[in-house]
Amino acid sequence: MRNFEFYNPVKISFGKGQIAKLSSLIPSDANVLLTYGGGSIKSNGIYDQVMNALKGYNISEFSGIEANPHYETLMKAVDLVKDKKIDFLLAVGGGSVLDGTKFIAAAALYEGSDPWDLLLHRRTVKASNAIPLGTVLTLPATGSEMNGTAVVTRWETKDKMAFDSVHVMPKFSILDPEVVFSLPVRQVSNGIVDAYIHVMEQYLTYPVNAPVQDRFAESLLLTLIEEGPKVLANRSDYDAASNLMWAATMALNGLIGVGVPQDWASHMIGHELTAFCGLDHGQSLCVVLPGIMHLKRRNKEEKLLQYGQRVWNITEGATDEKIDVIIEKTVNFFESVGVKTKLADYGVGVEIIPRIIDRFKTRGITAIGERGDLTLEEIGKVLELRLK
Amino acid sequence: MRNFEFYNPVKISFGKGQIAKLSSLIPSDANVLLTYGGGSIKSNGIYDQVMNALKGYNISEFSGIEANPHYETLMKAVDLVKDKKIDFLLAVGGGSVLDGTKFIAAAALYEGSDPWDLLLHRRTVKASNAIPLGTVLTLPATGSEMNGTAVVTRWETKDKMAFDSVHVMPKFSILDPEVVFSLPVRQVSNGIVDAYIHVMEQYLTYPVNAPVQDRFAESLLLTLIEEGPKVLANRSDYDAASNLMWAATMALNGLIGVGVPQDWASHMIGHELTAFCGLDHGQSLCVVLPGIMHLKRRNKEEKLLQYGQRVWNITEGATDEKIDVIIEKTVNFFESVGVKTKLADYGVGVEIIPRIIDRFKTRGITAIGERGDLTLEEIGKVLELRLK
């Protein structure tokens, strides 16, 4: 195991009825900006629950944060924060609203000329340069509720980029699994695979003798395989919704990634598919990951076989036969929870490949992956493998 | 899964050479009290590492915190804290030093007449009533480095009691696995079983459909079974020491216990064996737990069988036959890492049973366990089962 630091001071309130606790979590004299998305929280009752819990608070609102939140949209919220002298942000939504609100938190107090530099140049956020924020999660998927990472898209240039700071970690996150009951099926499907691939990116690399991290990761994969389909089959299954939600949070709160190599190649390539072609984040990951598993099977051989044995019970056959079955099992799981895994399924053809490679080139990136050896040429091959 | 709150803001610095980071973790103008035990940190070099890292700091020292730290000893440290106007505590040691220092942190600013009430009456600690503390862990075992719990013994009355507060959680804990290299075998053995039984107390109850928590718990048990013997076999095996250390921390940082029933009966009975008869904490747990597994096998049947299957691969036979084998496997594991499991092994006879039952009676306790149905009579039976 490698040396590491772990620090996660997010307070989690998990379960039914937890939204009512908001007033114990936000200072009563706070000047709050409530941020949310397209308004589904008004039809499913969550908006009313939040407003009831915060009676007597000074609350402004900013709605319309879209999926893959746009820098252009978020900068309007930044203006509002400055105008209204907001000193607490409450994000009510899924990963996009939460990520967007983290950006607002840092951008509103950014001292440089353009807050986009937080992402482009990975500028450090100081403690005094972030507005405190809390979240009410409405969609189990991204893990944003318990980490300091945010991904933002600059619509104008189709740049989808990430930044990370302990100072934009939520002070608290409320996780009420009942929010799952009213979610569109597509969002549940995307949530299951998003969490699954978050685990895989921290797990499917090479062994460094870290059995706690490995087994925790496998625990989450097994839980997602078991509970995801239950949530889809019965949307009012509270237990299954709870287990999906907690697994998705654990998948990206830093715990399973401490002291081990990580490979965020599927995310890096997937982000481009989302930015250029509009694939949902989860969809983009399900397209890319199987290609990487196939192409980098020698790099990842030991962990692929461990994954196959412990998660899919695959123990028979020659190494490459086993790996083929392991990839097939993984793809079948994604498809079984309703997420297509080929570019053709999304109407994307071979022409996307040079555009994505050019994008990496433009950013000065020549290779990615846990060993830094997935070259631009290989990124092209990965995508070729996933055409149809 | 039940509703829960989870909040663990302890910053972990894990790995070789992390002690050198102390000066980035403690405010440079702090008036520090270094607390430690019998002085082994002077012979193994940790004291020097700490002092080198803190050159230029204003440091006082309090040594002599014993195993099962005594209220009487700790109150002397409280006097020192007040005299010297200490505003930061640095605990360098194992669970006893860490627990003792948490008590010092709260007792020094306690507003009532007797800080023992923190334990006896489980008084709440306010944020402003605890001196901040950090730790350098020298013994993987208790998990005290990443939680807010402390167990203190009043020597005069042989009362061993616990208190808990988020405000005595360490601001940081430094976990350098190399400290394991020079530990006495008995301390390593006790650490392995202590961590193991911490997991069991949060796991071996009844199912509430919490697969993440269950699998995380099983992950830790499997890791302790695998890595514990490696540490004993080769004390300079850094990887094994790392894995033992991280598993022990994860075993009691709250994570595996969220949203599930817990059973601290082995600890409650074990504390009396330590207080009356001087058994090490780990020894006392290894005596008691198998008795509870045997006697409460109907209460715990589903989780016993799950534990047997997933941890020990026991799948054949009638239910009670399997449970007998599962208990035997567990006992054999404790013995294999060097911890005896019968009262006779420690020279304790049947006469202890009424004393322990009387102690519970005096405290107004009539039954314990996850269902509150392990009666005083049954506590007696558990101990009878463990005589020889």
Structure tokens at A220: 């989450």
Residues of A in contact with B243 (CB under 8 A): 1, 209-212
pLDDT in tens, B312-342: 999 999 999 999 999 999 999 999 999 999 9
Q: How many Å separate Cα B17 from the centre of its chain?
A: 25
* C-alpha distance from B341 to closest chain A C-alpha (Å): 27
- Backbone dihedral angles phi then psi of residue B4, each to the nearest 5 degrees: -155, 165
Residues A254 and A137 in one domain: no
Residues of A in contact with B9 (CB under 8 A): 7-9
Residues A94 and A221 in one domain: no
pLDDT in tens, B261-315: 999 999 999 999 999 999 999 999 999 999 999 999 999 999 999 999 999 999 9
Closest C-alpha to B94, from B6, B198, B2, B179:
B179
Residues B124 and B58 in one domain: yes
Residues A122 and A155 in one domain: yes
Element (H, E) at B103: helix B95-107
Q: What range defines the domain where residue B80 resides? A: 11-178
pLDDT at A364: 94
Distances from the Cα of A378 to the Cα of A285, A302, A320, B130, B269, angstroms: 17, 21, 19, 56, 61
**Residue B3 included in any domain:** no
* C-alpha distance from A29 to closest chain B C-alpha (Å): 20
Residues of A in contact with B239 (CB under 8 A): 1, 209
CB-nearest to A239 from B209, B220, B242 is: B209
Q: Which residues of A touch B (CB under 8 A)?
A: 1-18, 209-212, 215-216, 218-220, 222-223, 226-227, 239, 242-243, 246-247, 250, 255, 258-259
Band of pLDDT at residue A19, cut at 50, 70 and 90: very high
What is the interface size between A and B, counted as CB pairs within 8 Å? Answer: 116
Domain final residue pick, A178, A203, A237: A178
The residues that bridge with B59 in the sheet, in sequence order, are B32
Nearest residue of A to residue B18, measured between CA atoms:
A3
* C-alpha distance from B183 to closest chain A C-alpha (Å): 21
- The answer to whether the CB atoms of A1 and B239 lie below 8 A apart is yes
One-letter amino acid for residue A353 of the chain: I
pLDDT at A127: 84
**Residue B5 included in any domain:** no
Count CB atoms within 10 A of the CB of residue B327.
Answer: 19
**Residue A193 included in any domain:** yes
Per-residue burial over A107-139, b if 16 or more Cβ lie within 10 Å, else e, is bbbbeeeebbebbeeebebeeebbbbbbbbbbb
Average predicted confidence (pLDDT) for chain B: 96
- The answer to whether the CB atoms of B15 and A8 lie below 8 A apart is no
Structure tokens at A323: 């790996």
The packing angle between helices B265-277 and B376-385, to 10°, is 70
Residues A284 and A249 in one domain: yes
- The answer to whether the CB atoms of A219 and B219 lie below 8 A apart is yes
Residues of A in contact with B219 (CB under 8 A): 211-212, 215-216, 218-219
Nearest residue of B to residue A209, measured between CA atoms:
B239
Mean pLDDT along residues A291-298:
98
Residues A21 and A127 in one domain: yes
Residues A80 and A137 in one domain: yes
Cα distance between residue B283 and residue B339, in whole Å: 6
- The answer to whether the CB atoms of B11 and A6 lie below 8 A apart is yes
pLDDT in tens, B32-49: 999 999 989 999 999 999
Cα distance between residue B109 and residue B126, in whole Å: 10
**Residue B367 pLDDT greater than 90, yes or no:** yes
Residues B259 and B331 in one domain: yes
Cα distance between residue B149 and residue B98, in whole Å: 10
CB-nearest to B1 from A12, A212, A239 is: A239
Domain final residue pick, A116, A148, A178: A178
pLDDT at B160: 87
One-letter amino acid for residue B103 of the chain: F
Band of pLDDT at residue A339, cut at 50, 70 and 90: very high
pLDDT at A67: 92
Residues A164 and A62 in one domain: yes
* C-alpha distance from B95 to closest chain A C-alpha (Å): 20
Q: Are B247 and A212 in contact (CB under 8 A)?
A: yes
Q: Tokens 């937080």, residue?
A: A118
**Residue A294 pLDDT greater than 90, yes or no:** yes
- The answer to whether the CB atoms of B211 and A220 lie below 8 A apart is no
pLDDT in tens, A196-222: 999 999 999 999 999 999 999 999 999
Q: Are B111 and B160 in contact (CB under 8 A)?
A: no
CB-nearest to A3 from B15, B216, B226 is: B15
Q: Are B131 and B81 in contact (CB under 8 A)?
A: yes
Q: Are B66 and B38 in contact (CB under 8 A)?
A: yes
**Residue A325 included in any domain:** yes
Strand ranges, E, within chain B: 4-14, 31-35, 58-62, 88-93, 133-137, 149-154, 159-164, 172-175, 367-368, 374-375
Cα distance between residue A111 and residue A66, in whole Å: 26
* C-alpha distance from A250 to closest chain B C-alpha (Å): 9
Maximal C-alpha separation, chain A: 66
φ/ψ region of B64 (left if φ > 0, alpha if ψ in -120 to 50, else beta) reads left
pLDDT in tens, A85-133: 999 999 999 999 999 999 999 999 999 889 999 998 888 898 889 999 9
- The answer to whether the CB atoms of A258 and B4 lie below 8 A apart is no
Domain final residue pick, B124, B147, B178: B178
Burial class (CB in 10 A: 0-12, 13-18, 19+), A5: middle
**Residue B128 pLDDT greater than 90, yes or no:** no
CB-nearest to A5 from B11, B212, B218 is: B11
* C-alpha distance from A200 to closest chain B C-alpha (Å): 16
Interface test with B, best of A6, A214, A234, A252 (most B CBs within 10 A): A6
Closest C-alpha to A194, from A270, A259, A272:
A270
- Backbone dihedral angles phi then psi of residue A381, each to the nearest 5 degrees: -65, -40
* C-alpha distance from B366 to closest chain A C-alpha (Å): 31
Residues A222 and A104 in one domain: no
Interface test with B, best of A212, A216, A245 (most B CBs within 10 A): A212
Q: Are A211 and B226 in contact (CB under 8 A)?
A: yes
Residues of A in contact with B178 (CB under 8 A): none
- The answer to whether the CB atoms of A2 and B15 lie below 8 A apart is yes
- The answer to whether the CB atoms of B6 and A14 lie below 8 A apart is yes
* pTM of the shown model: 0.97
**Residue A160 pLDDT greater than 90, yes or no:** no
**Residue A1 included in any domain:** no
Q: Are B150 and B123 in contact (CB under 8 A)?
A: no
pLDDT at B39: 84
The set of residues, in sequence order, having a beta carbon less than 8 Å from that of B233 and lying 6+ positions away, is none
Q: Give chain B's domain count.
A: 2
Classify B13 as helix, strand or coil: strand
Residues B160 and B228 in one domain: no
Residues A208 and A304 in one domain: yes
Nearest residue of B to residue A259, measured between CA atoms:
B14
Residues of A in contact with B231 (CB under 8 A): none
CATH number, residue B256: 1.20.1090.10
H-state helical runs in A89-158: 95-107, 117-120
pLDDT in tens, B47-70: 999 999 999 999 999 999 999 999
**Residue A2 included in any domain:** no
Q: Which residues of B touch A (CB under 8 A)?
A: 1-18, 209-212, 215-216, 218-220, 222-223, 226-227, 239, 242-243, 246-247, 250, 255, 258-259
**Residue A302 included in any domain:** yes
Interface test with A, best of B203, B212, B311 (most A CBs within 10 A): B212
Residues of A in contact with B226 (CB under 8 A): 211
- The answer to whether the CB atoms of B242 and A6 lie below 8 A apart is no
**Residue B318 included in any domain:** yes
CATH number, residue A112: 3.40.50.1970
pLDDT at A123: 87
Count CB atoms within 10 A of the CB of residue B85.
Answer: 8
pLDDT in tens, A221-265: 999 999 999 999 999 999 999 999 999 999 999 999 999 999 999
Band of pLDDT at residue B223, cut at 50, 70 and 90: very high
**Residue A45 pLDDT greater than 90, yes or no:** yes
Classify B141 as helix, strand or coil: coil
pLDDT at B158: 86
Count CB atoms within 10 A of the CB of residue B150.
Answer: 28
Q: Are B7 and B162 in contact (CB under 8 A)?
A: no
Average predicted confidence (pLDDT) for chain A: 96
The packing angle between helices B376-385 and B281-295, to 10°, is 110
Residues of B in contact with A218 (CB under 8 A): 215, 219
Structure tokens at B115: 């800080």
Q: Are B118 and B106 in contact (CB under 8 A)?
A: yes
Closest C-alpha to A284, from A351, A197, A368, A349:
A197
pLDDT at A91: 98
Nearest residue of B to residue A213, measured between CA atoms:
B219
Nearest residue of A to residue B171, measured between CA atoms:
A7
Q: Are B131 and B86 in contact (CB under 8 A)?
A: yes
